[in-house]
């Protein structure tokens, strides 16, 4: 028997896709920065990629712990030519804001369903967004100070 309602199950499966899409976006940013010669800045996005894979796996585990069927939704392609580091940094922050909104919607569903286990898990996932915001806003602040690619090379040489 499953311990979760259908709409909540569906939302959690969609969230698996959202997290894996985040992972793909950050791997793309990592590769883009490597090809600009900005290997230290690229490493930050490699770490973000691994964190997002971890989040996706946490949602899969939540579903299987509740004996719910799992599906992995189709994930959109990522192929953006960033004109500047500021554009990349803005997409990073936008994506994290969208993730918080998405987690908040699932939290509301869990509260409506009296599914306390999912409710608690969503609060834990939302709490992690504080650190994600700290990292993304700090990156955007630095990008805004050093918007030209040659300035990014100095930023990268200082360790990223
Ligand atoms: Fe995430």
Q: What is the pLDDT of residues 88-125, one digit of tens each?
A: 999 999 999 999 999 999 999 999 999 999 999 999 99
Question: Per-residue pLDDT for 145 more than 90?
Answer: yes
Homologous superfamily of domain range 6-157: Ferritin, core subunit, four-helix bundle (1.20.1260.10)
* Ligand 1 centroid to residue 49 C-alpha, Å: 9
- Give the per-residue pLDDT at 94: 98
Q: Which of 10, 6, 12 is nearest to 107 (CA)?
A: 12
Is the model's pLDDT at 160 over the cut of 90?
A: no
Closest-CA residue to 59 (of 3, 118, 142, 141) = 118
Give 112 Cα–ligand 1 centroid separation in angstroms.
23
Instruction: Break the chain down into helix, strand, coil percent, rounded to 5.
Output: 80, 0, 20
| pLDDT reported for residue 44 | 98
Ligand 1 centroid vs 21 CA: distance in angstroms? 9
Q: How far is the CA of 11 from the centre of ligand 1 (A)?
A: 15
**What global pTM score does this model have?**
0.96
């Amino acid at each position: 028997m499953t311990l979760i309602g259908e709409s909540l199950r569906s939302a959690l499966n969609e969230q698996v896709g959202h997290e894996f899409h985040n992972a793909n976006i950050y791997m793309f940013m990592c590769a883009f920065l490597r090809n600009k010669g900005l290997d230290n800045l690229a490493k930050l996005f490699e770490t973000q990629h691994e964190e997002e894979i971890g989040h996706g796996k946490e949602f899969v585990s939540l579903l299987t712990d509740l004996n719910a069927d799992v599906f992995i939704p189709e994930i959109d392609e990522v192929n953006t030519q960033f004109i500047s580091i500021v554009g990349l940094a803005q997409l990073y922050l936008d994506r994290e804001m969208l993730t918080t909104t998405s987690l908040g919607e699932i939290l509301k569903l869990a509260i409506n369903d009296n599914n306390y286990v999912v409710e608690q898990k969503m609060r834990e996932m939302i709490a992690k967004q504080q650190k994600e915001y700290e990292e993304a806003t700090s990156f955007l602040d630095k990008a805004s100070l050093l918007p030209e690619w040659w300035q990014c090379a100095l930023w990268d040489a200082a360790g990223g």
